[in-house]
Structure 1
């Protein structure tokens, strides 16, 4: 049951994401609502009300991840979304994008390969 539910939530995320990325807005911005829907739905499934706060400030890392994840009012982690091929190292978030070479070499990206998500735990 767990696998089927999580699979369905991820499938729903994929459908919503595909629709958003087909629009005219910025690709990273198009990810915000689908990611929020996915994470809150997973939290709900686990019996935890999960809230995402946008553009969280982490002064100790001189960084601003895309989301802080809160459960019961406490920040339990952070999410940073980057285009595939860019560094997920927090020290590079505010700098010029740095390409990361893929061991598989260049290819036509699939929907799930266009963006990478880093979850930074607290």
Structure 2
């Protein structure tokens, strides 16, 4: 359930931020305006935050690079903070001792910044 919450928040973060000067087009293409949402596909990455030279990495690039490459759905696995000293949700692959990519809050802020910095 937590994973779906992150996924929905990530999609909403990307799709709701609009530029004041750019006309709204259906997901970037006018030809999509009459197509039901259920018939549109989005490119996604599994364990989107898990990149780099770690044995648990699934991706070759960080999330900002994935966004630049056209990825619009990010599958994020949220875990309780391993120290239990924080209420922050950590993005970890399998378990946090294997790969801890930091807080969900920081990752979601990075995702939210992309459409603000790239309005079109």
Q: The TM-score by the shorter chain falls in which range?
A: 0.3 to 0.5
**TM-score, length basis structure 2:** 0.35
Which structure is higher in strand share? 1
By relative contact order (CA 8 Å, sep 6+), the higher-ranking structure is: 2
**TM-score, length basis structure 1:** 0.34
